[in-house]
Amino acid sequence: MYTQSVKYVKDPLWAWKNFVERGIADAVLTRPEILESWQRCRELNVNPYDGIGKDRLNQKELDKLILSNSRLVEAAKPFMHTVYQSVQGSGFMVVITDKEGRILHSCGDSAILDKAESTIRFIKGTNWSEQAVGTNAIGTALVINKAIQISGSEHFCQSHHYWTCSGAPIHNSLGEIIGCFDISGPAQYVYLHTYGMVVAAVEAIENQLRKEEIQEEKNRAYELLSAATESVTEGLLAVDKEGRIIHINPVAQKILRLSKKIETGQLLKSILGPNEKFSEMAKQLLWKTDVEIVHDQGPDRIHCTCSARPFSKKDGSIAGVVFTLREINKVRRLVNMMVGATARFYCKDIIGESKVMKTALKLISVAANSRSNVLLTGESGTGKELFAQAIHNHSNRSMGPFVAVNCAALPRELIQSELFGYNEGAFTGAKRGGNPGKFELADGGTIFLDEIGDMPMELQVNLLRVLQERKVTRVGGDKEIPVDVRIIAATNKNLFKDIDEGRFRQDLFYRLNVFSIHIPPLREREEDIEVLTMYLIRIFSESLGKQIKGAEAEFLQAIKRYTWPGNVRELQNAIEFAINIAEGDYLTVKELPHTVSCPRQVRTEGKVISLSEIERITVESTLNQFNGNITQTAKALGIGRNTLYDKLKKIRG
């Protein structure tokens, strides 16, 4: 600490000598900021008779320092030269330093620059902090964090008494010191206005730095937005109320079939033509969600879904609309994933060691490598959909959707809209915006038409047209929509007989029956029954949480004796039933459904009963067992309700 003296001395130099030589501080002639600085210099062991800048960087170090402070230097240079223009010829120089007080850049009259270098080494790279050269406008301003003017003997080091300097710290947007601005010249030319010029220059530099930061933030935000819009899988298109493009990302350009670079400000109508719907939606400024857009763009067709969201200016007025576009194929793939329109089974999942089964399995790989339509024939429950999924999964369409349609399960009045889709307002209850049909959803993949023999005659004509032209027209619509679909059809009926009786079109049959695979019934593959049984025991034991190790010999004999009119599906139901009620580690014959364990005798007095009679006996006995309940009977037999109705109709005439 310094001691106070009450003696009044007019000469400021005496105050400096009194402090340096005797440690006495004069608070009358010396400002508090100066006295505090002198005290710091004494504590730092600064030599008051020196003050020459000795701590100087070499050129490599200086270049590195200037580079790290390049933003500050570049922002300050214009203001340094402006200030210098105001004091040019008066023997002053202008300096900018870093936050530690090292000189980064200077400008001024050549005479004063030379004097500063030769007398005190006041040049680039030199450390001008209080610790290095004592009290001065640069070092002291950085310590007290405010502007200050220091003149003559107010400097702690005697070699600086020739000089007057005004310095002010420069701050960033966070209020942190990043440098110092200084004007220095001969002490006899001390002017108060140089202090004001320094303060004004620093304010201007800080404003410039803030502007640059704001601009950089804007640029970063724009780059981030651009990167985000370019990385999303959806198309983004922003237009103003007049339909002029504000922004479009590459995905939107691809969806809209735009090969050329699109400039902002272009009218969308001038690019897409007068009938495009986006400008009209922008003009209406309405929120829209998943609107289907079909637009012919020259030889190409734009087919996508579109969601619209208006956006506002700062004053709350609507500025335009942002459209989110999704390619229709991607939308369909997403829908198919959500509704489970995928194939899960491969050849390895089809169990069978019999000769007839191996022959059928070989045809799967042949059919998979072909582009022809496939017709699967076989009784109910033989696994026709299993075969269809395996063909799809082993084909070059395996990455596309697999859409299964049971033609017998669809109501007659809805089958056309289900297969081919419908437009909004096509009929009472039609979904707003319309709905794509199964053929559209299967685009790029496979459609499996199960029970094709039950398709109404009037719809067979429409299906034939789709097979010929590879295009669908929605119910209530007039535009043809191209579809790339492979058809696998299946039936348990004798289509030749249906053709003869006028229930199935001959031309459609030959379109579908390009590649035919017959799946044998279970009774013709007796050697597969035990293999399938053991496989099903393992599968159902795991799913039902049972520890079933196998089946007794009598159980296996019983299932081999049975004719399995419901085929593999009936066998699955029988094994699942047995495992549910099983009490031991091995399945016994008593745990089989009654219809399987105790079937009616099929031989009478040496006569062999026909397969149709066996089927009749099995169906009627099962129906009696469940007291006429169609649902339970169909489940036990492993067939669908419609199939059971057909069999009962045939049995009862």
pLDDT at 120: 95
Tell whether 501 and 624 lie within a shared domain: no
More confident: 267 or 105: 105
d(CA 634, CA 91): 110
Among the three residues 179, 214, 249, which one is the final residue of a domain in this structure?
Answer: 214
> How far is the C-alpha of 150 from the C-alpha of 166, rounded, in Å?
6
Same domain assignment for residues 179 and 256 = no
Q: Are residues 458 and 492 in the same domain?
A: yes
| pLDDT in the model for residue 315 | 79
Cα(278)–Cα(248) distance, integer angstroms: 13
CA 635 to chain centre: 44
Q: What is the pLDDT of residue 425?
A: 67
CB 272 within 8 A of CB 297: yes
Q: Is residue 20 part of a domain?
A: no
Domain boundary pick from 155, 185, 214: 214
Q: Would you say residue 354 has pLDDT above 50? A: yes
User: Does residue 9 form part of some domain?
Assistant: no
The more confidently predicted of residues 141 and 547 is 141
Residue 624 is predicted with a pLDDT of: 67
Domain membership flag for residue 498: yes
Q: At what angle do helices 611-625 and 641-651 cross, to 10 degrees?
A: 120
Among 128-142, 306-320, 445-459, 612-626, top mean pLDDT goes to 128-142
For residue 2, pLDDT over 60 is answered with no
pLDDT: which is higher, 610 or 410: 410
- Return the CA Rg of the chain: 46
Highest averaged pLDDT of the listed ranges 156-165, 235-244, 414-423, 448-457: 156-165
Look at residue 118 in the predicted model and tell me its pLDDT. Answer: 94
Instruction: Establish if 18 belongs to a structural domain.
Output: no
pLDDT > 70 fraction of the chain, expressed in percent and rounded: 90
**Is 2 part of a structural domain of the chain?**
no
Q: What pLDDT, on the 0 to 100 scale, is given for residue 601?
A: 47
- Fill in the DSSP letter of residue 85: H
Q: What's the Cα-to-Cα distance from 230 to each of 30, 119, 250, 263, 326, rounded to whole Å?
A: 65, 60, 6, 16, 14
- d(CA 511, CA 507) in angstroms, rounded, equals 6
Contact 108, 93 (CB under 8 A): yes
Q: What is the pLDDT of residues 54-76, one digit of tens each?
A: 999 999 999 999 999 999 999 99
One domain, residues 476 and 535: no
Read off the tokens for 70: 């390049």
Q: What is the pLDDT of residue 346?
A: 85
Q: What is the mean pLDDT of residues 319-335?
A: 75
CATH of the domain at 105: 3.30.450.40
Residues 509 and 530 placed together within one structural domain of the fold: no
Task: Give a yes or no: residue 364 inside a domain.
Answer: yes
Among 501, 518, 535, give the residue marking a domain's end. 518
Question: Kind of pairing, strands 245-248 and 235-240?
Answer: antiparallel
How many separate domains does the chain show? 4
Q: Rounded mean pLDDT of 106-123?
A: 93
Q: What was the pLDDT predicted at 432?
A: 66
Q: Are residues 303 and 263 in the same domain?
A: yes
Q: 178 is written with which tokens? A: 């990043």
The tens digit of pLDDT for each residue in 590-646 reads 888 877 877 654 444 445 556 666 777 777 777 766 667 888 788 778 787 878 887
pLDDT at 84 over 80: yes
Residue with tokens 């003149």: 151
Length of the chain: 653
pTM value is: 0.54
pLDDT at 608: 55
Check whether residue 78 and residue 134 sit in a common domain.
Answer: yes
Give the pLDDT band (50/70/90) at residue 339.
low
Residues 431 and 462 in one domain: yes
- Structural contact between residues 101 and 57, judged by C-beta atoms closer than 8 angstroms: no
User: Has residue 27 been placed in a domain?
Assistant: no
CATH number of residue 247's parent domain: 3.30.450.20
Q: What is the domain-level CATH number for residue 643?
A: 1.10.8.60
Q: Are residues 157 and 43 in the same domain?
A: yes
Q: Do residue 191 and residue 264 come from a single domain?
A: no
Kindly state whether residue 331 falls inside one of the protein's structural domains.
Answer: no
Determine the 3-state secondary structure of 242 from DSSP: coil
**Beta carbons within 10 angstroms of residue 468's beta carbon:** 10
- β partners of residue 299: none
User: Is residue 18 over pLDDT 60?
Assistant: yes
Structural contact between residues 137 and 129, judged by C-beta atoms closer than 8 angstroms: no
Q: What residues make up the domain containing 430?
A: 339-518
What is the per-residue burial (b if ≥16 Cβ within 10 Å, else e) of 538-560?
A: eebbeeeeeebeebeeebbebbe
In this structure, are 531 and 442 located in the same domain?
no
Determine the Cα–Cα distance for residues 135 and 150; give it in Å rounded to an integer. Answer: 8
The enclosing domain of 467 has a CATH number of 3.40.50.300
pLDDT at 146 over 50: yes
Q: Do 253 and 198 reside in the same domain of the chain?
A: no
